Each structure stands twice: as structure tokens, then as C-alpha cells.
Amino acid sequence: MGELRGRLLANQPLGEFTWFRVGGAAQAFFMPEDENDLAYFLRNLPAEIAVTVIGAGSNLIVRDGGVPGVTIRLGRGFNNIAVQDGSRIGAGTAMLDVMVARAAQKAGIAGLSFLSGIPGSIGGALRMNGGAYGGETTDVLVEARGVDRQGNICTFAHADMGFAYRHSSVPDDVIFTAAVFQGRAGDPEAIAGEMAAIKSKREASQPRNRTGGSTFKNPPGHNAWKLIDEAGCRALTIGGAQVSPLHCNFLINLGNATAAEIEALGETVRARVKAHSGVTLEWEIKRIGQPA
């Protein structure tokens, strides 16, 4: 790939790119320079090589045996942000959600404050239909751009995103590169107040270290945390992994957990909740790679 401009590395440990701080290495790790570089890479990568994309790693367990094939992480070339006419804002998908919320606040664009409560990147928000405190990505997305496994650059209108609760049905092989959001005119001071309220609610109710956020989706008609609590799993511990005593739908790495311990803890919680209430919990956290 003579025209490749990004950085391609072998055996890059991935734990450092995740909130849990666990997991093995990427067999190959690619950081494209920009969207065209990403498209060139994917066009020229043999079809049999698996591709995995990671964002800010805030919803991710990387298994201890690492990730085969190529893991892609978007960096500087995808960090652009631009306020547009009509209370719109465009952002590259490596941009953190909170930065988009802050840019919107400064520009007097209301409706995007909820993004300040999600510690991921815009790419992760598109894939997960990230939402918090009454707002969801689907409420504000106008369109997204992405590159498919064949290296085609595609545009997705809102209707093409197939958004559902913490899910987009855009094929898994699409790597999102940019998004445009629609807000509404608002008062910067009032928006700053909303963001401050979200921050203090989060600080009071969620662990903020070595976790992956909500582990399981809320099953229809239930709160996952409540089912977990009722099944007696609050503070349950396996090795270095613990169900957060503060918010029992969060798992935490106490410091020296392995990915296997965190995943085993999650599966134990699922089994206990099933036995106690009959409800099957579905993982919200994405697990990638192979066991050790």
C-alpha cells in the first residue's frame, strides 16, 4: 500500500485505549490520516482480514487474547468540528461527545447537552445511539458519513441509520467518519446550566473510573440495575472485577482485573438475574477479540 499515509503498527496493546484498561493486543493497528486514507486502506486490504473499529473505548471489553486482524482507531484527521447555519453542527467521529456539546453551548445551540453526559466519541454515539438524561443521538442526527469494508465512502440519512435503543442497524463493517447534528437556537447560559446539572448528577450516581458504563440494556419494562440489585449482585466480586456498589449496572476494574474476570462477572450477573426474576439481560457493552 504505497500511498498509505496513516500509521500501521503490529501488536499494539489495546487496554490503554479502553476505560476498563484491560485486554490483549491488536494483531495490526491502523490510525488513518483522514477519510481518503481510510478508504484507500480498506480498498486494498485483502477481504479475508477482519477489521474492528474502536472509539474512545468507553463501552468496550477487549478480551485478553487480543484482536485478530486490523483494529482501526480514528485520530486527529477525524477531530474537526464546525458550527453551521440553522443551529447545526458538524463533527468528525473521533471528536468526544462532550466537545460537541461544549461547541454547541458556546454557539447557542440547544438540544445537544445530553452528549456531555456520555464519555464516548461521536463514532461510538452513532453506533450505539448513545443517549443520556432525556436525549438520544437519534433525536438530533441529520446525517452521517462512513466508509464500508470495500472502501466506499457512503452517506447515511437519518432514516438509513436504523436507530433503536443503543443500536444502529447500519452494517457492522461501516466505519463512521463524520456526522451533522441539528439543534435549536438557545441561550448559552441556560445550556451551560443544563450541562452543569448533568455533570453533577453523573458524579453523584456513577463510578467514573475503569468501567464500561451500563453493562446491560434495560429490558423492556425493567431497570437493569434494579434486577441486578434484587438478585443480590451489588458489590459481587470475581478476582479484580466488581459490580459497582454505587451503580449496580456498572462493572468496575478494581485495579488488576483481567478481561476474563470482568466478562465472567457479567455472565454471573446475567445467570443470577435470570434465576431470580426470569429476565434475560442483554449486554450493552461490546466485547471484542479472543480469550487468552
Residues that bind ligand FAD (CB under 6 A): 19, 53-60, 74, 93, 117-121, 123-125, 127-128, 130-132, 175-176, 206, 208, 211-213, 286
The residue among 71, 163, 79, 150 whose CA lies nearest residue 121 is 79
Residues contacting residue 78 through CB under 8 Å, at least 6 positions apart: 34, 35, 92, 93, 94, 95, 123, 177, 178
Q: How far apart are the first and last CA of the chain?
A: 31
Smallest distance from the beta carbon of 55 to ligand FAD, in angstroms? Answer: 2
How far does Cα 243 stand from its chain's mean position? 20
Smallest distance from the beta carbon of 194 to ligand FAD, in angstroms? Answer: 15
Nearer to ligand FAD, 146 or 186 (CB): 146
Nearer to ligand FAD, 91 or 109 (CB): 91
Nearer to ligand FAD, 185 or 254 (CB): 254
User: Does residue 85 contact residue 44 with C-beta atoms inside 8 Å?
Assistant: no
Q: Is 277 a catalytic residue?
A: no
Q: Is 284 a catalytic residue?
A: yes
The residue among 93, 115, 90 whose CA lies nearest residue 102 is 115
Residue with cell 441539528: 182
User: Does residue 114 contact residue 194 with C-beta atoms inside 8 Å?
Assistant: no
Smallest distance from the beta carbon of 185 to ligand FAD, in angstroms? Answer: 25
Q: Which of 113, 121, 214, 244 is an active site residue? A: 214
Q: Which of 35, 194, 263, 284 is an active site residue? A: 284
**If DSSP codes are grouped into helix, strand and coil, which group holds residue 236?**
coil
Nearer to ligand FAD, 172 or 187 (CB): 172
Q: Is 166 a catalytic residue?
A: yes
Q: Which of 145, 166, 210, 272 is an active site residue? A: 166
> What's the one-letter identity of residue 148?
D
Smallest distance from the beta carbon of 136 to ligand FAD, in angstroms? Answer: 8
Q: Which residues are catalytic?
A: 166, 214, 284
